[in-house]
Amino acid sequence: MYVGMNYLRNFFIALGLLLALGSASAQDVGGYYFGIKGGATLSDQQWTNFERDPLLAAHAIAFVETLPEQGKFSLFAQLGYHVKGSSLLPRTFFNPTFNEYFRSSSQSFRFYNLSLVLGAKQRFAQKNRLGLYYLFGPRLDYTFDTNLDEYTQFNTQFPQYAIYPFDDKQFIRELNYGFTAGGGMELPLTEMIGLLLEFTVNPDFSFQYQQPAIPNVLDTFTNQTVTIPERRIRNLTFEITAGFRFWRKIEYID
């Protein structure tokens, strides 16, 4: 909880700095943009020694942005709720212990994150009221929950087959860092309100989950000890986002 409060405090400090920059970006008319956006997330994870399927989830974001200098360059900050993870579609496996095949059910592995991005946006020349832009910036994620507790029973009952991540805070990284890059388009509806549609790629540089090899685990069927291999998980997401942008207009009177 203490880490999460520091995370939010730093966001609001950055937010205040951006608002100050936005208010000072014009002599007679200033202000800043703000808005909400959300959409679909296609999440993939790199697991050591285990092939995964993508996970389809959702995200929601609040953002603030400076007025574009000369109509093109601006700075932004955004704080969003993002579900990252992967899935396992139904598969048929062979169990050598019982000499039989079985089919697994569909499973998902979800990490719930608050994501802070501080970045820059560069616009191209506007044509037919439609503005195109690209954006980029570093990202910091705070993982506040997971659904790994759903797989605790299997890992406990069959420790020699502990193929799922453990619901253990010493293995789950709370703070992760990465990068966000993408592009989009803006369509003004009125002077104060506009629509936006964007696509971003969001790779993590740090590991979301990192578990060392665990030796001397008893195989309950053979009464021999085995070693659970090391497991490391890193996130990669692709997001399609739509939303509304509002102009907080400030006029300066001499």
Tens-digit pLDDT profile for residues 122-138: 998 776 678 899 999 99
Give, as one character, the DSSP assignment of residue 128: T
**Per-residue pLDDT, 9:** 59
Residues 170 and 214: their CA atoms lie apart, in Å, by 13
Distance of CA 79 to the CA centre of its chain: 10
Give, as one character, the DSSP assignment of residue 165: P
Residues 228 and 222: their CA atoms lie apart, in Å, by 15
Among 3.40.190.10, 3.40.50.150, 3.30.530.80, 2.40.160.20, what is the CATH number of 2-251? 2.40.160.20
How many CB atoms sit inside 10 A of residue 113's CB?
27
Q: Could you tell me the sign of the dihedral formed by the alpha carbons of 207, 213, 217, 221, in that order?
A: positive
- Read off the pLDDT of residues 42-95 as tens digits, 9 standing for 90 and up: 999 988 767 788 999 999 999 999 988 777 899 999 999 999 999 987 666 656
Q: Where are the domains of the chain?
A: 2-251
Task: Provide the whole-model pTM.
Answer: 0.80
226 is written with which tokens?
């085995």
Closest CA to 184 of 106, 231, 243, 226: 243
Looking at this protein, which amino acid is placed at residue 92? T
- Read off the pLDDT of residues 167-183 as tens digits, 9 standing for 90 and up: 888 999 999 999 999 99
